[in-house]
Structure 1
């Protein structure tokens, strides 16, 4: 077993336990069939039924290089900005490439546009609409497989940057390059890769939007539940939640990752893909650092250390389908040794009890939130308190690229970020939200700061 100061880990027992153990009463019954679709991804909040601006042109892109034998592909939707007379540009003048983030399958760029251009504030302003009106040419970059390796999709971003440079009109402005969520990591890698290759990316600003620079958090208990119930029949044929957790992108993105619901191990280094990704970033310079490039970012989490509503080691739900299955789920405890986080049982599947050691209480950390517990409860038909529905997905300390070890996470999650001394972040400037808002949500505080940075 783990001892104090050891690596964060999970330990799994298969010993049977009785229905008399644990707390709570029977809650609902197993849906027919149990919903198995991908759950733990950000919701796109814009009005996707609203008629959004159609792109002026669309680029079909192939990755500039292969990664582990894979050449990724993607699509870019190009929206021309307006000139001083309100007339759309006839080509690229002031290009901004903004990449899609973490999810499963192919990007839906129309939905992404609606999400990023959703109204914010009392007067209903829209972020993309204001950028276009200010003459910024918005290029939304999507990927055929958002769940594949970050390096592979970074190669698609390199191709997009090269095309923007080639298509930009003579005398046009340097590029703005960035992305939302994992899109910020993809473009960070792309820019750093180009610099390492001696290639000028001709960019003046790198912008990340709630990007998990040091890692994101999906509770290990939820990961294990996804694996445990994966074998439950589902005739829909949709991708299952476990497929997202098992994906290359999830392995590289998540600070704590487990490969199944059976084994015990060190969660911060279990995935060789994450270890390799961090080493690859170091090999190409960690962050792009071309002279004149301004690195900026925003966090959906607070910067004053205000935590979310989830407390450590609270019961989230006790769901039972009498005689068939049961799941007793708790929020992540604060460090400690052998702290129980989930019990699972089902006919044929058997029993699992998972305990964690030395894992910080990330569920309630300041950060961009995701309704992971709520989505799972809804899929199971379990009763859940509203306060337990959402927890931290991208901690603020990660979104602002605070300088700390991305493996050991030797950091105070409640660090006050609003008055940091210079040099504590990898970013030249950043802005945190007023509250712990939903991951990737465009809020008034974040949008107005971005507009001031990009167009003044």
Structure 2
């Protein structure tokens, strides 16, 4: 029987700053980088976003834990359309604060083939109306933002000037939000009139942010109070992160199990099961930025990424080791040891086939540290998670490097999926993924 994955902080003062004199604490904080949110994708400024034909302000159809989420949708009609006719809802994913729908358009519509239109432009040329769905608090509870998605579906149905069914889905967490929304509507016997559901690199089984980077974010905040704006760990402690991450730690001192550290994840999964797990009526499509052949990234387990030594300060942070007992993932010394962390029974997530996130690179840039190009990005949404492998969300890590090319149909909760030919950046529309998805819609 597999042992429960866990983390152990082996050396730490009760308060990280208490073991250091004030000037040394400030030097450690400075070495860990500037203020900001390490794990938030920067807005996409390059490219053009068209003016939407309509903008809808949306309010969730019901509260979650007393909170009613809000959002908005930008409606882009297809070529030749004067009203919604063949609507496709595309929901935004995980980040901090309100959605930037212009930035989302620029990101998803970025040309992946020279001299060819981008993904959204191709949809509109096919006669498909694009409804971009955004949220005012992307980091809040998935159930709360799913209520906004329900309102968006109902608005589309009310505005549509045809009997054409809907296509509904999203990128990253947007795929999870719309998955829950459609399943909840079915559970409530509300007709969502959706023919196809899709998800682009959605962490159906969970996402991964290296545990040592989560800890360093918390450690930075404990040493340096926030100025204006969010702190380094703001996204890590958010409800959505706790619901989506396969492994999570609550602070830099935490020792214990990492898959069950947050009750929010268990509660969300129970809630998802309660509404049916997946919507049953739509044909379910999944797109994965990771490869489907089991080939991962060149990230040797346990290899040091950061190995900074400026006497008497030393910082080491490592690629996630592969299983084992008390495998060191990071340490800080300032003459004497200040903090050290180790994992047990945690597999080599960083190098798994999957959609990548450049968390290591962003933190290296914030800290002014040199970093090899191959270490800048690691797996964020493993391919087996993006294709919704039919496994328990707490017990699937042994399948990280599974070859998915001849996967039996009953081994995934989706009806069809496509993996990229390489491990591409999380949430990126590539030629292979776009071509496959557009073929799926060709007969719609």
Give the shorter-chain TM-score range.
over 0.9
**CA–CA distance in structure 2, aligned partners of residues 444 and 121 of structure 1:** 7
**CA–CA distance in structure 1, aligned partners of residues 40 and 425 of structure 2:** 11
Q: Does 1:328 align with 2:325?
A: no
Q: Counterparts of 1:39-50 in structure 2 under 5 Å?
A: 39-43=38-42, 48-50=45-47
Change (3 A) 1:390 1:9: same
2:59 is matched with 62
Change (3 A) 1:441 1:346: farther
What SS is found at the alignment partner of 1:204? Answer: strand
Aligned length: 430
1:73 is matched with 70
Change (3 A) 1:110 1:380: same
The Cα offsets for residues 63-105 of structure 1, whole Å up to 9 and x where unpaired, read as: 11111111000010010112xxxx2x22110111110001011
Q: Does 1:116 align with 2:113?
A: no
The Cα shift of 1:455 comes to 2.6
The Cα shift of 1:51 comes to 3.0
The Cα offsets for residues 199-225 of structure 1, whole Å up to 9 and x where unpaired, read as: 110000001000000000001000000
1:103 is matched with 95
Q: Does 1:368 align with 2:355?
A: yes
**CA–CA distance in structure 2, aligned partners of residues 215 and 42 of structure 1:** 19
What SS is found at the alignment partner of 1:151? Answer: helix
List runs of 5+ in structure 1 lacking aligned partners.
17-27
Out of 179, 182, 192, the position equivalent to 2:183 is: 192
1:94 is matched with 86
What SS is found at the alignment partner of 1:125? Answer: coil
Q: Does 1:13 align with 2:15?
A: no
The Cα shift of 1:320 comes to 4.1
Q: Is the 8 A contact 1:33 1:234 kept in 2?
A: no
RMSD over aligned Cα atoms: 2.0
Q: Counterparts of 1:201-240 in structure 2 under 5 Å?
A: 201-233=192-224, 237-240=228-231
2:401 is matched with 414
1:296 is matched with 285
TM-score by length of 1: 0.90
Q: Is the 8 A contact 2:93 2:173 kept in 1?
A: yes
The Cα offsets for residues 246-273 of structure 1, whole Å up to 9 and x where unpaired, read as: 0001101100000001120100010000
What SS is found at the alignment partner of 1:363? Answer: coil
The Cα shift of 1:236 comes to 5.0
Q: Does 1:166 align with 2:158?
A: yes
What SS is found at the alignment partner of 1:342? Answer: strand
Bigger shift: residues 401-410 or 57-66:
401-410
The Cα shift of 1:52 comes to 1.8
Q: Is the 8 A contact 1:92 1:172 kept in 2?
A: no
Q: Is the 8 A contact 1:302 1:432 kept in 2?
A: yes
TM-score by length of 2: 0.93
Out of 412, 419, 423, the position equivalent to 2:410 is: 423
Out of 412, 420, 428, the position equivalent to 1:441 is: 428
Bigger shift: residues 380-389 or 118-127:
118-127
Q: Is the 8 A contact 2:78 2:129 kept in 1?
A: yes
List runs of 5+ in structure 2 lacking aligned partners.
14-26
